[in-house]
Amino acid sequence: MRETTPPKSSPEVRAARLSLGVAVALLLVKMAAWLLTGSAAILSDALESIINVVAAAFAVLSVTVADSPPDERHPYGHGNIEYYAAWLEGMLILLASIGIFYESWDKIFHPAPMPNLGAGVALLAAAGGVNLWLGMRLVRQGRSSGSLTLEADGKHVLTDVYTSAGVFVGLGLVWGTGWLWLDGLVACLVGVNIAWAGVGLVRRSVSGFMIESDPVLLEQICSLLRENRQPAWIDIHRLRAIKAGRRVHVDLHLILPRDMTLAEAHRHVDAMEQLLRSRLGPEADVMIHADPCVDARCPVCEAEPCDLRDSANSATPVWTPQTTGEPKKGT
**208 vs 205: CA distance, rounded Å:** 5
pLDDT beyond 60 at 138: yes
Residues of the chain with CATH 3.30.70.1350: 215-324
Residues of the chain with CATH 1.20.1510.10: 11-209
Q: What is the largest CA-CA distance in the chain?
A: 92
Q: What is the dihedral of CA 138, 283, 245, 212, to 10 degrees?
A: 130
CB 331 within 8 A of CB 253: yes
**148 vs 154: CA distance, rounded Å:** 10
Can you give the pLDDT at residue 121? 78
Q: What average pLDDT does the chain have?
A: 80
pLDDT beyond 60 at 53: yes
Cβ partners under 8 Å of residue 151, min gap 6: 138, 139, 142, 143
Identity at 45, one-letter amino acid code: D
How many angstroms from the chain centroid is the CA of residue 178? 43
Between 258 and 197, name the one with better pLDDT.
258
Can you give the pLDDT at residue 330? 47
Q: pLDDT tens across 7-34, in order? A: 456 777 788 888 889 889 988 988 888 8
Between 330 and 316, name the one with better pLDDT.
316
Least confident of 62-76, 229-243, 245-259: 62-76
CB 131 within 8 A of CB 30: no
**203 vs 90: CA distance, rounded Å:** 9
Q: pLDDT tens across 277-313, in order? A: 998 888 788 999 999 999 888 888 888 888 888 888 8
3-state class (DSSP) for residue 146: coil
pLDDT average, residue stretch 221-247: 88
**292 vs 256: CA distance, rounded Å:** 5
Give me the helix-helix angle, 81-109 and 148-177, nearest 10°: 10
Can you give the pLDDT at residue 245? 61
> What does the chain come to in residues?
331
pLDDT beyond 50 at 1: no
CB 120 within 8 A of CB 42: yes
pLDDT beyond 50 at 5: no
> What homologous superfamily does CATH list for 11-209?
Cation efflux protein transmembrane domain (1.20.1510.10)
**108 vs 186: CA distance, rounded Å:** 9
Task: Please indicate, yes or no, whether the overall pTM of this predicted structure exceeds 0.75.
Answer: no
Can you give the pLDDT at residue 4? 42
Highest-scoring range by mean pLDDT, 36-50, 148-162, 248-262: 248-262
**255 vs 290: CA distance, rounded Å:** 6
Can you give the pLDDT at residue 12? 73
Can you give the pLDDT at residue 234? 93
Report the run of H or E that residue 6 belongs to, with start and end: none
Residue 139 CB coordination number (10 Å):
18
Q: Which CATH number fits domain 215-324: 3.40.1080.10, 3.40.50.300, 3.40.630.30, 3.30.70.1350?
A: 3.30.70.1350
CB 147 within 8 A of CB 19: no
